[in-house]
Chain A
Amino acid sequence: MTGAGSLTGLVGFAHVLRRAGVGCGPERVQAFLRAAGFVDLSSRSAVYWAGRVTLCGEPDDLARYDAAFAAWFGGVEPRVPRRAGVRASSVAALGDGQLREGRSRRLAVAASDAEVLRRKDIASLSPGERAHLRELLAQLRPVPPVRRGLRRRPARRGGVDPRRTFKAMLASGEPTRPRYRQRTARARKVVLLVDVSGSMKPYADALLRFAHVVARRMPVEVFTLGTRSTRVTRQLRHRDPEQALAAAARAVPDFEGGTRLGETVRAFLDRWGQRGAARRAVVVVFSDGWERGDPALLGEQVARLKRLAHKVIWVNPHAGKDGYAPVQSGIVAALPHLDRLLAGHSLDTLRRLLEEVGRA
């Protein structure tokens, strides 16, 4: 059994682990302590494995676990990342100006202004208009695209439902009118890939807010693309948009960096897409198509994406502007494999995108 001294040590380790960002709640810690009772505590490897199977819950936890284990049981100085407070300042990293409450209120009343705002390029908004845009974004009501489900449910017409028909015959003992069933409709998965590199800076904040609104309404996975691909679905699940955006900003290490679209799309497909996230999904890529890497690689990866996904929609903030031609190396490579190339520089165009996704 575990003595009082080792018990404190084990609980302390779990505490350090939690500080390092592994989501081990009390239930997991209890399991760890129970597991410790079954293994040889003097063996470093046994303690390591007992902790790893009870305290970790996903592959992302494993590296943190290894570091914390080495620190706690090996005497290396633990490196705990500082936790940033949820402040407006951390959201400002997403290309946001100062927000003035009074002004946004006044703007919210002016309906005619809203009309103008809908068509205005997000990049050219004043801070007050930006605040108003957030309110308008929050009012969007996305409808998920549907696909035919595998399950059937009772219906007035359709195929004969032998189960319910038999059941009815069982109840009456006589042959009865046949019962029918039909396949259900289910929400199709939606995947949003948001380019957060330097050239997309004016749009990144609005697009992530848009992603947050969509994520609250339908099954969706959100990833950011920059110099690497980062999954922010979990962060955006937060109900409050400010907290969700702040959490996303903390999670993404490469805001306003360069773009290697081909490599990041490949990283997304390797890690998530091919396994199932992109399979039969509607995939929306928000990017201006500036590719610093090899455009041929991007073309290859978008082709791969197209083979997995139900629909691939590329949203380019510049596509709606006068004189736009898809000449950027990245977009040229991707274009043959896209189902749609849409504009995405204003609220109106984002709304049109939602209609397109809902119909997909």
Chain B
Amino acid sequence: MTPEDLAAELDRVGYLPDAGIATAAFLAWRMHRPLFCEGEPGTGKTSLALALAQALGLPLIRLQCHEGIDATQALYDWDFPRQLLHLRALEAAGPVDADQAEASLYTRRFLLARPLLRALEEAPCVLLVDEVDRADDEFEAFLLEVLGENAVTIPELGVVRAQTPPLVVLTSNRTREVHDALKRRCLYHWLEHPDLAREVAILRRRLPGIGERLAHQVASAVRRLRELDLLKPPGVAESLDWAEALLTLGRTELDAESAAATLGAVLKYREDARRALSAGVPATPPGSTIAG
């Protein structure tokens, strides 16, 4: 398999990668290294992981990071209420041997596997660690340990080791600088917004009902919006939303009127909307050629 083959597989499941994304994902898969994806919001970091799982035919396990996430939410936890019930049931059944009863409490069936443990148990799989920059830095050290060893030690049970390491995709929006030690273990890929032709292709692939003309108009309008120095430049997710909004309204053309009606799907700040309207963006710039 080559990066081009992987690109074709991703294409098949509806994700259109450029050469950089395909090579990065290919190397992560073959080298068994986590792939660390950074980039502007809406450049397809999370959907890359979803597409990889589909393309490679592997289950996807997702760990959404947030402030204060810890091992009991990410790795495993004991099911205390069930353990308690089990103990009561043993008591009710008759005299119990204390040691045996305790041993029976710490078995696999009372263990709640959280995403990281599930990924190790179910590997081969794709593990998505989403928005790792939102977690605290203590969590990074812990993540590093699990990703480095591809194993965890549960004191009461023993070591759980992945037979084949899961394909790990980490995403970050750069709200915080992630520690170098974590990045060093990973392949690093910075995702850019796709170029015009690719964005048109993405729109047409994701929204089968859209015509070449409308897709081209939306993609080029979004490109111009990105150059406008906005508070929140729209990503691919926003252009998809926009195109879908237009389709839902039954529009086949992006003119000033239909743009004004649907601008809320692509720009989420009042200042941005005002700036876009005063720059006259939704209107197709004169002289632009429409293919097809």
- Which A residues form the contact surface with B (CB < 8 A)? 23, 25, 27-28, 31, 34-35, 38-40, 45-46, 49-50, 52-54, 56-59, 62, 149-151, 162-163, 166-167, 169-170, 173, 274-277, 279, 304
Contact = CB atoms under 8 A, between A and B. Distances in A.
Contact of B175 (A58, A151, A275): A275
A303 to B, nearest CB: 10
Given A27-B184, A57-B184, A279-B175, A39 B27 contact: yes
Interface string B73-104: 00000001101100100010000000000000
B145 interface: no
A151 B2 contact: no
B80 A167 contact: yes
A53 B83 contact: no
Given A45-B19, A53-B187, A38 B38 contact: no
B14 to A, nearest CB: 22
A313 B19 CA distance: 46
Given A57-B184, A59-B190, A170-B87, A50 B80 contact: no
Contacts of A274: 231-232
Contact of A276 (B19, B31, B84, B176): B176
15 contacts: A23-B180, A31-B187, A39-B23, A49-B23, A53-B20, A53-B23, A53-B35, A57-B188, A58-B188, A149-B68, A151-B68, A167-B80, A173-B91, A275-B174, A277-B176
A145 to B, nearest CB: 17
Nearest to A163: B80
A249 B258 CA distance: 52
A49 B190 CA distance: 11
B24 interface: yes
A188 to B, nearest CB: 13
Contacts of A163: 80
A150 B184 contact: no
A31 B83 contact: no
Contacts of A169: 84
Nearest to A35: B27
Size range of the chain B interface in the assembly: 35 or more
Given A40-B2, A45-B19, A58-B188, 9 more contacts: A35-B187, A49-B3, A49-B19, A52-B189, A56-B190, A169-B84, A276-B173, A276-B176, A279-B175
A302 to B, nearest CB: 14
Nearest to A300: B271
A62 B23 CA distance: 16
Contacts of A50: 23, 27
A49 B24 contact: yes
Contact of A53 (B27, B30, B133): B27
Contacts of B38: 58-59
B231 A166 contact: no
A58 B177 CA distance: 9
A170 B80 CA distance: 8
Given A40-B2, A52-B20, A167-B80, A57 B31 contact: no
Contact of B3 (A28, A31, A39, A173): A39
A61 to B, nearest CB: 8
A39 B23 CA distance: 8
A45 B26 CA distance: 14
B188 A53 contact: yes
A151 B69 CA distance: 8
Q: Name the 3 nearest CB pairs between A and B, nearest first.
A: A276-B175, A150-B68, A49-B23
A55 to B, nearest CB: 8
A50 B26 CA distance: 10
Contacts of B105: 170
B31 A35 contact: yes
Contacts of A162: 80
B206 interface: no
Contacts of B81: 166
Contacts of A35: 27, 31, 187
Interface in B133-187: 133, 173-177, 180, 183-184, 187
Contacts of B2: 39-40
Contacts of A34: 31
B122 interface: no
A54 B187 contact: yes
A38 B31 contact: yes
A275 B33 CA distance: 27
B241 interface: no
B67 interface: yes
Contacts of B189: 52-53
A25 B26 contact: no
A50 B80 CA distance: 47
A57 B173 contact: no
B67 A150 contact: yes
Contacts of A277: 175-176
B70 interface: yes
A147 to B, nearest CB: 11
A308 to B, nearest CB: 11
Contact of A166 (B24, B27, B80, B174): B80
A149 B180 CA distance: 25
Contacts of B33: 31
A56 B191 CA distance: 13
A52 to B, nearest CB: 7
A279 B188 CA distance: 26
Given A35-B27, A166-B80, A46 B68 contact: no
A20 B83 CA distance: 59
A31 B20 contact: no
B30 A38 contact: yes
